[in-house]
Homo-oligomer: A and B are copies of this chain.
């Protein structure tokens, strides 16, 4: 594998040249049936409609060349087979394999990386047994009653992915089963959730790879205290998902323990035990495994070398076109599905923590833009909120729409000749067209400049399988981009400084190291004093 600087890839110069006069989508005959038809890609149940991006065949050919010059598919394959992709050459770094794909490579005889796939299979078998015991009524509370609620306690990658997935699939929840989440160190977060459940019928799933995450350790303590106040035995209610050998890996303190491994980063861990324990409680084991099957299907589809046939690779290349060549600093992900309410928050982590980087794989400062700011809210809600800026603002925001032809619950109603689901999809398609095409008007305040690039992802229905496909699609889009920018998408050194400073402030507040450790004129002392934070 060669790790070339982005600016040294020959296709970059060509793309810079094309970017000087990108495809104009506002022309009367631009958005033809042929263009919509040519710029459509179907994979694993999703259609990607990208005619409303500012590109043409010439640009696509150059993006194809870019992906080949950066050896993106080769590196992706190497990642899946266990290459040490989480590293910076020549400097101390995490030096880890990146094997989140193994957590769902459990459906075939010859997985890409047998050792990790076997560990995934073992954990899944243990989970299956636990869930079967639970649902069969063999695991019960102090009064022989079954458990109805699971509270998932984690933060960051141990929270956002599992939360987004549970919300997305709540419509398929087993009757009488629900899940809640506690993540923030804000004590009001835990208090609000605990006040709303019957602790005696509740399981707590504490998730931390290191077993030392400040927020999660603190929240586990809050929860244990609540159980003790209620006269209940925490060890009968609390599960752990943690790394083997971590301080939390202590079976005597937990009802059950499942393992996660250091070759899966937090933001890619939703399909490991990090997400699967809570999902299997909510949906049942078989439905939860459907999610893995969907993700695995996309893991395979992402091996294709033709960008016009590889959905995550094409989305990665279009993103680079918009960000590095057209100069657009953000990306809006806009699901037309209320169930995907928190999917943008998951992507925010997965994308921005992966690709918000400033040094290359070789430790040199990057001389090009890396990851954009990713944000979004579900439509049609967003239409009544920030779409004004998308259509008429001075910031151009590329958009990725996600929609479904059918709803989940099946409780729909015809009003004014169409169902709500039809209204939802029609609005999504209309927004895509309006952003791309624009509209002239005599009144300057009613003019729409158009040329706002966007794509649509469309599937039949949001199911566990579809959700798995979608999750892996975005994971791979992000990995392909990081590889193209020649950065390490798998570490997060940028979160360390804040932690160090927070610990310094907390030592000062608690007085545990208060003997002149901080200089009286230090910014830390100054801000504590002026913020009026009680010692």
Contact = CB atoms under 8 A, between A and B. Distances in A.
A510 B413 contact: no
B192 A429 contact: no
A390 B530 contact: no
Interface string A485-506: 0001001111111111110111
A188 B339 contact: yes
A391 B495 contact: yes
Interface in A176-210: 183-192, 195
A524 B33 CA distance: 9
Given A156-B385, A502-B426, A523 B392 contact: no
Contacts of A409: 187-188, 191-192, 195
A417 to B, nearest CB: 3
Interface string A392-407: 1111010000000101
A496 B438 CA distance: 11
A348 B532 CA distance: 30
Contacts of A33: 521, 525-526, 529-530
Q: Which of A88, A186, A366 has the most CB of B within 10 A?
A: A186
B444 A497 contact: no
A166 B79 CA distance: 46
Interface in A151-184: 155-157, 159-160, 170-171, 183-184
A400 to B, nearest CB: 15
A356 B386 contact: yes
A45 to B, nearest CB: 12
Contacts of A329: 329-330, 395
Contacts of A527: 31, 36, 49, 429, 432-433
Interface stretch (A10-18, A279-287, A311-319, A367-375): A367-375
A488 B388 CA distance: 13
Nearest to A426: B505
B393 A370 contact: yes
Contacts of A339: 186, 188
A359 B185 contact: no
A53 interface: no
Contacts of A431: 498, 501-502
A433 B385 contact: no
A7 B217 CA distance: 53
A453 interface: no
A429 B531 contact: yes
Nearest to A389: B356
A270 interface: no
A91 B427 contact: no
A437 interface: yes
Q: Which of A221, A363, A407, A505 has the most CB of B within 10 A?
A: A505
Given A188-B409, A370-B394, A531 B456 contact: yes
Given A32-B526, A192-B338, A524-B433, A446 B496 contact: yes
B497 A434 contact: yes
Nearest to A93: B445
Contacts of A374: 386
Contacts of A427: 185, 498, 502
A365 interface: yes
A381 interface: yes
Contact of A387 (B357, B371, B413, B495): B495
A261 interface: no
A528 interface: yes
Contact of A363 (B192, B375, B445, B523): B445
Nearest to A392: B494
Interface string A33-71: 100110010000001010000000000000000000000
A528 B155 contact: no
Contacts of A93: 445
A383 interface: yes
A155 B380 contact: yes
Interface in A455-513: 456, 458, 488, 491-502, 504-506, 509-512
A134 interface: no
A345 interface: yes
Contact of A222 (B170, B413, B526): B413
A430 B501 contact: yes
Nearest to A438: B497
Contacts of A380: 155, 184-186, 215
A407 B188 contact: yes
A145 interface: no
Contacts of A40: 530
A492 B511 CA distance: 53
A448 interface: yes
A443 interface: yes
Given A186-B378, A388-B495, A448-B494, 4 more contacts: A329-B330, A348-B377, A356-B389, A425-B531
11 contacts: A88-B443, A187-B420, A221-B415, A330-B373, A349-B386, A353-B385, A353-B389, A356-B388, A369-B395, A390-B494, A405-B534
